[in-house]
Amino acid sequence: MMDVPAGYRESIERPGQFWMRAAQSISWYVAPTQAFAAGKHGLLQWYPGASLNTCFNAVDRHVLAGRGNQPALIYDSPVTAAVRRFSFVELKREVERLAGAIQAQGVTRGDRVVIYMPMVPEAVFAMLACARIGAVHSVVFGGFAAAELAKRIDDAKPRLVLSASCGIEPNRIVAYKPLLDAALERSSHVVQRILVLQRPEMPATLRAPRDRDWQEVVAGAAAADCVPLDAADPLYILYTSGTTGIPKGVVRDNGGHAVALASSIYDVFGAAPGEVFWAGSDIGWVVGHSYIVYGPLLAGCTTILYEGKPVGTPDAGAFWRVCRDHGVQTLFTSPTALRAIKREDPEAQAVAKDGTGSLRALFLAGERADPATVQWAESHLHLPVVDNWWQTELGWPALATCLGLGEHQVRHGSAGRPVPGFCFEVLNADGVAQPAGSIGDICLRLPLPPGCLTTLWHNEAGFESSYLTARPGFYFTGDSGFIDSDGFVHVMSRVDDLINVAGHRLSSGGIEQVMAAHPDVAECAVVGAADDIKGMVPLGLLVLKAGVTRDSATIAEEVAQRIREEIGPIAACRAIVVLDKLPKTRSGKVLRSVIRKIADGESFDTPPTIEDPHALELVRAALSAAGYNRREVFHAAQS
């Protein structure tokens, strides 16, 4: 077995020593005297008795250290043709004034504030301002459906909502205020005050006295100081979809979160203070929380806030343009974004023409990074392309190639090896550890390191049942895969996405890996559809690269043949259909469970996070055109 990264063994065998040393990267009002104390459910309470302020660590301390003129935040908005830059001094001024405005609305330590905003600098100010005064923020993705927003308002019970009049997409303007008003009408919790940032593209009608103009309130506010907080005090609640239809509010603490995020910037990403770090995500998702806002700023990096798309604003060279314009050294985005770029510019002409500037490494997470996409990026960018794996609940990478710790080897198809603090095992249905190469349930041995969720908001029972009871002594990730003989962990699919064909457990990710390797394929997805004889059979969906003119049925047959040759006849798809786009969430995850329900003729509710509801009709029409009628399927690829 290959050597583990430097420090990994210590993080598992002597975690107190490891995490006390990591805590030295954070400024404390009361310094910790121990890394952890025993908590409930086999978890740990991190840095008991210590106190700090996350906003102070992300903003003020850099000013006090003499680095106030360094750029802290760069806002790049191709949809409004605007670029704004904020030094740490300027960021501090904006945040402390907004924090004072929030306090003036009656918000105090421990109160919740819902942030429902687009990708504008004021959204970052809002998160930091809440952290500054000890309010618990809950960011909801801008433009989220009213019904889902109402559920989050009812659960968090905020004293204040911070919003904007609209969000701006490449081809449309989304009015936020009507969605917020509709959510508040559906919610049983009464919000006393709303601050609305008026954007000139579509100002909103305010309802006095509840609604107030953001700019007017902030202009008259006094600056607020940082409030010392216990390390265990909650920093934020971030909701992730629950299987019961009730969203799960993941709670993050202040102390463990600050230490873990700062450490990850150095250890995982290999970034240093003063460098430019860009996470091409949205603040509504955990990647945006961790690596647009908190992680880079805690580490003293410059962070990029991008209000645009990987393609269409204006073209497939948008990401590389941002890297060049702002001197980005580390880029973190999703495989979906990279596949969209690859589809529109398969020969990477935008890279060949203008390059990527100072870019040193590309990191991918959010869903499985198929080897074909990683290899495409490696061949055109000529720099490390590093997959990593984690979840909303975990808060930072648990699997990666830790560039900052001297790791360099990546293994295509794997998200890497465990990051210090995380201990992985693959278990079968009986909870027995599986040998190298055997597929099973991917689990994390307890206790978890700092920075992970501490509970679900006002739902301790749900926290335990969702993550801790399925495999006693472990955190159940809900993903399946295997660990190879060199310790690389291969996350293949969600447990629910495993396809059981006549007793054979097949990974949808493994089949997708073969499909994605076809030179004409830009994106793909595989689901298990019901079958009266075999129980389930794989169903494949393809999106072709831009400019491909070959017959789609021929391509489907070629892909089907590859599956038979590389995996075996047991994995043969009953049908492979070609689509213009796959149905996805706004964060880029393919809606496999919905596709499966369409294939099986089951009813379903359109997910509130869907990027384009029309994509589901494309799936239905494509299956029908392929001769797919519930469980009776005939296709040329089935020979």
In a domain, 631, yes or no: yes
Do 232 and 282 share a domain, yes or no? Answer: yes
Confidence (pLDDT) at 639: 29
Do 454 and 589 share a domain, yes or no? Answer: no
User: 108 to each of 100, 136, 137, 221, 235, how far by Cα in Å?
Assistant: 11, 10, 12, 15, 13
SS3 content of the chain, % helix, strand, coil (to 5): 35, 25, 40
Confidence (pLDDT) at 3: 66
Do 526 and 467 share a domain, yes or no? Answer: no
Do 473 and 619 share a domain, yes or no? Answer: no
Domain-terminating residue out of 481, 507, 524: 481
Confidence (pLDDT) at 503: 59
Average pLDDT of span 125-138: 98
In a domain, 375, yes or no: no
Q: Domain with 295 in it: what CATH number? A: 3.40.50.12780
Domain-terminating residue out of 481, 512, 538: 481
Among 415, 429, 422, 477, smallest CA distance to 449 is for 422
Query: What's the CA gap between 146 and 181, in Å, rounded?
Result: 8
Cβ–Cβ < 8 Å for 510, 492: yes
Do 475 and 516 share a domain, yes or no? Answer: no
Confidence (pLDDT) at 621: 87
**Structural domain boundaries, residue 30:** 8-308+388-481
In a domain, 347, yes or no: no
In a domain, 357, yes or no: no
Residue 13 has a CB neighbour count (10 Å cut-off) of 9
Q: Choose the weakest-confidence range: 187-191, 241-245, 576-580.
A: 241-245
In a domain, 360, yes or no: no
What pTM was estimated for this model as a whole? 0.87
Element containing residue 217 per DSSP (H, E): helix 214-219
Do 392 and 503 share a domain, yes or no? Answer: no
Confidence (pLDDT) at 556: 92
In a domain, 393, yes or no: yes
Do 287 and 219 share a domain, yes or no? Answer: yes
Do 450 and 529 share a domain, yes or no? Answer: no
Would you place residue 629 in the very low, low, confident or very high pLDDT band (cuts 50, 70, 90)? low
Do 505 and 608 share a domain, yes or no? Answer: yes
How many domains is the chain built from? Answer: 2
pLDDT in tens, 602-621: 888 888 778 888 888 888 88
Do 475 and 551 share a domain, yes or no? Answer: no
Q: Choose the weakest-confidence range: 56-65, 355-364, 550-559, 579-588.
A: 579-588
pLDDT in tens, 468-514: 999 999 999 999 999 999 999 999 887 877 777 765 667 788 888 89
Query: What's the CA gap between 612 and 116, in Å, rounded?
Result: 20
pLDDT in tens, 324-338: 999 999 999 999 899
In a domain, 252, yes or no: yes
More confidently predicted of 493 and 380: 380
Confidence (pLDDT) at 612: 84
Do 471 and 511 share a domain, yes or no? Answer: no
Would you place residue 632 in the very low, low, confident or very high pLDDT band (cuts 50, 70, 90)? very low
Do 280 and 188 share a domain, yes or no? Answer: yes
Per-residue HEC secondary structure of 164-194 comes to ECEEEECCEEEEHHHHHHHHHHHCCCCCCEE
